[in-house]
Amino acid sequence: MRAIQRRSVRRFLGILGTVAITVSALVTAASVAFARTPEIVVTAGQDFTANEGSQVSDQIVAYFTDEPEITRPQLGEQTCDEFAAIAWTATIDWGDGSTSTGVIHCADGPYPIEGTHTYKDSDTFHINVTVKDNLDQQTAEGTDTATATINDLGLSARKAADVTGTEGTKVTVKAPFWDNNPAYDKDGQVDPGLTATIDWGDGTTSAAEKIEWPDEADQNVLVSGSHVYDAGIEGSYTVKVTLHDSGDIQVSSTLKATIADAALTAGAPKSFVATASQSSSQVVASFSDGAGAQAAVADFTATIKWGDNTTSAGTVTKTADGKFDVSGSHTYATSGTKTLSITVVDEEGATLTTSATATVPALPTTGQPQAPIQPSMPLLPLLALAFGLAIAASGTGLILVRRSRP
């Protein structure tokens, strides 16, 4: 075995008595390892600042010492750094959920540990470093050895297209943005920390339904969402789409949504029979509103022309199938066929006119009230008078004998 030259970087082991010398192969050459009590101490590195999505290279994140130090052989072409890579392993926890192996460099003082990393998001990150002695498997951890302050590069909005629609029907808006953080765009993704809200301009706000990567040259974030408008306010709404990132940065894009009033559609014409001189309540018309579930009874007023030169307000009610009925009460003074005209007006001023037919039968003659005859004198005297006049006119005498009772 060839003679082994060695030097101690700090101090030679031998203070505690017998030194156990073990010969082992170390890469392509040999060195001597001594029985010792290791004492690895990890100390702070250098704090630094960088931009999200940009690589930080060769950053010193910690230093360490190992007392007593491992003896480094004089081995031909093997450099000090190569020896350090064999003797120790440094693991860097970057504080963002990712780890990597650090690079250890030889030095006359504490050994520096360098690392290369890309932070995908802005924030303040605390770095921890663990050093392991590969010869005796001892480890030591340094907590918060460096602090990384990562800047947010911001967001910008692109022009969003205006949309049109009809009340009661779903309207979808899409708003493009640009995220200046390149970390996700280069992978065809959007930052999972992005959120978005949409103010629909009618007093309602909702979270975006999708935030996706659009694969467009001038946009790398596309926000979309859908909404059902109740009714048009002067025909249009201002929609505001706001994109937020995890670094408390936000940007907004606005567009116009023009919403048309949904059509009113009349149901089949109604016909009914009414009794003259008697009040009756009837459903005189039915209709539907294209706004669907958005339509409510309070949105409508109704007027009924009864076909006899009289008019009254109708009552609007909603049916189980989502349609509407118009009803009213009326008394017809005369019989005949009456043609009704019913007009419905919604809250936006849209008007629907439909018709109905009322049949009012004439009452039977016997059914007409008869005034009773009031006699001017009792009936028997009238009969006697008539009988006496008849006898006198004929010249015949008539003797009435009154028989007296015994």
For residue 182, give the 3-state DSSP assignment: helix
Burial of 17 (0-12, 13-18, 19+ CB in 10 A): exposed
SS3 156: strand
- Please give the average per-residue pLDDT across 162-174, as a whole number: 94
Quote the CATH superfamily of domain 264-360. Answer: Immunoglobulins (2.60.40.10)
Q: What is residue 227's predicted lDDT score, i.e. its pLDDT?
A: 96
C-alpha dist (Å) from residue 21 to 13, 18, 35, 124: 11, 9, 7, 48
- Over residues 108-134, the mean pLDDT reads 94
More confident residue, 234 or 248: 248
pLDDT score at 235? 73
The structure's pTM equals 0.67
Instruction: Identify the CA nearest to 334 among candidates 388, 386, 276.
Output: 276
Tell me 3's DSSP state.
Answer: -
Task: Grade residue 73 by pLDDT with cuts at 50, 70 and 90.
Answer: low
CA distance 330 to 333: 10
The maximal CA–CA distance of the chain, rounded, in angstroms, is 193
Reference 180, options 216, 155, 150; nearest CA is: 155
Query: If you search the block for the tokens 């010869």, which residue do you land on?
Result: 135
pLDDT at 385: 53
Res 225 pLDDT > 80: yes
Same fold, 6-151 and 155-260: yes
Q: In what order do the strands lie in the sheet with 300-305?
A: 264-266, 279-289, 324-331, 311-318, 300-305, 336-346, 351-360, 270-273
Phi, psi of 386 (to 5 degrees): -65, -40
- Residue in the block written with tokens 């909702």: 206
Q: 404 or 49: which carries more pLDDT confidence?
A: 49
More confident residue, 231 or 282: 282
Express each pLDDT in 383-405 by its tens digit: 555 555 555 555 544 444 344 44
Cβ(282)–Cβ(272) below 8 Å: yes
Tell me which amino acid residue 384 is. Answer: A
Fold of 6-151: Immunoglobulin-like (2.60.40)
Average pLDDT over residues 187-212: 95
Contact between 70 and 13 (Cβ < 8 Å): no
What are 201-207's contacts with CB under 8 Å, separation 24+?
201/237, 201/238, 201/239, 201/240, 201/257, 202/229, 202/230, 202/233, 202/237
Please state the separation of Cα 303 from the chain's center in Å. 40
Lowest mean pLDDT, pick from 54-58, 172-176, 227-231, 275-279: 227-231
- pLDDT for residue 266: 97
Q: Which residue has the higher pLDDT, 205 or 34?
A: 205
Domain locations in the chain? Answer: 6-151, 155-260, 264-360
185 or 247: which leads in pLDDT: 185
pLDDT digits (tens, 9 = 90+) for 250-261: 999 999 999 988
- Confidence (pLDDT) at 189: 93
Fold of 155-260: Immunoglobulin-like (2.60.40)
Quote the pLDDT of residue 380: 52
pLDDT of residue 315: 98
Q: What is the pLDDT of residue 71?
A: 54
